[in-house]
A and B are shown apart, each in its own frame.
Chain A
Amino acid sequence: MPEQTFILNGEPVTVDVEDDVRLLWVLRDILGVKGPKYGCGINVCKACTSHINGKAFNPCAVPVGKLDAKDEITTIEGLPGEVPESKRGEHGLHPMQESWLDKDVAQCGYCQPGQIMAAVALVKKVRAEGRTITDADLDGIRNICRCGTYTRIREAIREGEQRM
Chain B
Amino acid sequence: MTEIQEDIGTEPSIGRHSVGRRRFLGYLIGGTTVVAAAELGLLSGQAAAKIPSAPQVFDAYDLSDLLTHAAQPTSSLITVTINEDGTASFALPRAEVGQGITTAAAMIIAEELDLPLKKIDVTLAPARPELIWNQITGGSNTIHAMYTPIRVAAAVAKKTLLEAAAAQLGGVVDELETRDGVITDALGNSLTYGELTAQAASPDTKAVEVGLKDEATFTLLGKPTNRIDALDAVTGKKVYTTDLDVKGALPTMVCRAPTLNGKPTKVLNAAEVKAMPGVTHVAMVPTGVAVRARTFGQCIDGVRALRVDWEDGPVVGESDQDILSGVKAAELPMPALPNTPLAKTIAYDFTFWFRSNSPMDTNSAIADVRSDRAEIWSGLKNPIVTQQQIALELGLTPDKVKVNVMQAGGSFGRRLFFDGAMEAAQVSKAMGVPVKLMWHRSDDARVGRAHPLATSRVRAMHAAGEVLAFQQSHTAVEMDLRHGFGEIVTALAADLPAGLGNLGYAQTIFALTTGIPYDFGVLLQTLNETDTRFNTGAMRNVYSPDVRTANELVVDQLAKAMRKDPLAFRLEFCRNERVRGVLKKAREVAQWGKPMPAGTAQGIAVHTEYKGASACVVEIDCRPETVGRRVRDAVTGPRVMKATMVTDVGQVINPRGVEAQMQGAINDGIAMTLTSSLHLVDGHFEEASWDNYFYTRQWNTPPEIEVVIMDSAEPPGGVGEAGVAPTAAAVACAYARATGKVPTEFPINHRDPLAFEPKPRTPPIPPSPTDGLRWTY
Contacts and interface: CB of A to CB of B under 8 A. Distances in A.
A binds B: yes
Interface of A: 17-18, 20-26, 28-30, 32, 34-45, 47, 52, 55-63, 66, 75-77, 91, 93, 97, 100-101, 104-113, 116, 121-122, 125, 135, 138-154
Given A97-B234, A108-B97, A57 B773 contact: yes
B664 A148 contact: yes
27 contacts: A17-B294, A21-B278, A21-B298, A22-B297, A25-B298, A38-B242, A38-B296, A66-B770, A76-B235, A76-B236, A104-B226, A108-B97, A108-B407, A108-B408, A122-B777, A135-B703, A139-B699, A144-B690, A146-B358, A146-B412, A147-B410, A148-B663, A148-B696, A150-B663, A150-B696, A151-B663, A151-B702
A106 B698 contact: no
B771 A34 contact: no
A148 B690 contact: no
Contact of A146 (B359, B438, B703): B359
Contact of A29 (B237, B295, B656, B772): B295
Nearest to A33: B236
B189 interface: no
Contact of A104 (B235, B238, B438, B660): B660
A142 B697 contact: yes
Contact of B236 (A26, A66, A113): A113
Contacts of B771: 61
B236 A30 contact: no
A101 B770 contact: no
B231 interface: yes
Contact of B441 (A40, A52, A62): A40
Given A56-B776, A100-B234, A109-B233, A144 B697 contact: yes
A21 B233 contact: no
Contacts of B699: 139-140
Contacts of B232: 109
Contacts of B777: 55-56, 121-122, 125
B235 A138 contact: no
B233 A152 contact: no
A94 B294 CA distance: 33
Interface string B224-244: 001101111111111110110
Contacts of B664: 107, 147-149
A29 B768 CA distance: 16
Contacts of B661: 107
B230 A66 contact: no
B277 A18 contact: yes
Nearest to A91: B231
Given A43-B775, A52-B776, A61-B771, A106 B235 contact: no
A30 B361 CA distance: 20
B689 interface: yes
Given A39-B690, A44-B689, 12 more contacts: A21-B298, A25-B297, A28-B296, A32-B245, A34-B236, A35-B236, A40-B690, A44-B690, A47-B360, A148-B701, A149-B664, A152-B663
A88 to B, nearest CB: 12
Contacts of A144: 360, 690, 695, 697
Contacts of A18: 277-278
Nearest to A58: B772
Contact of B360 (A30, A35, A57, A108): A108
B227 A110 contact: no
B772 A60 contact: yes
B768 A61 contact: yes
Central interface residue in A18, A59, A116, by most chain B CB within 10 Å: A18
B360 A45 contact: yes
B236 A108 contact: no
Nearest to A59: B772
Contact of A108 (B361, B665, B769): B361
State the 9 A-B residue pairs at the shortest beta-carbon distance, nearest first: A35-B236, A108-B98, A110-B409, A61-B772, A148-B667, A109-B233, A148-B664, A25-B295, A106-B233
B776 A41 contact: no
A139 B698 contact: yes
Given A22-B768, A66-B773, A93 B234 contact: yes
Nearest to B436: A29
Given A62-B773, A150-B667, A151-B705, A112 B295 contact: no
Contact of B226 (A61, A101, A111): A101
Nearest to B358: A146
Central interface residue in A18, A21, A28, A149, by most chain B CB within 10 Å: A21
A42 B438 CA distance: 15
Central interface residue in A21, A28, A42, A59, by most chain B CB within 10 Å: A42
Interface in B612-671: 631, 633, 656, 660-661, 663-668
B440 interface: yes
Contacts of B222: none
Nearest to B773: A62
B229 A106 contact: yes
A93 B233 CA distance: 13
Contacts of A151: 663, 701-702, 705
B235 A77 contact: yes
A107 B775 contact: no
A24 B297 contact: yes
Contact of A101 (B234, B294, B407): B234
B691 interface: yes
A40 B767 CA distance: 11
Interface string B179-215: 0000000000000000000000000000000000000
B551 interface: no
B234 A62 contact: no
Contacts of B697: 142, 144, 150
A41 B441 contact: yes
Nearest to B412: A146
Given A106-B234, A113-B234, A29 B409 contact: no
A111 B728 CA distance: 24
A146 B410 contact: yes
A148 B440 contact: no
Nearest to B656: A104
A110 B297 contact: no
B138 to A, nearest CB: 16
B409 A108 contact: yes
A57 to B, nearest CB: 4
A63 B383 CA distance: 38
Contacts of A39: 360-362, 441, 690
B299 to A, nearest CB: 9
B99 interface: yes
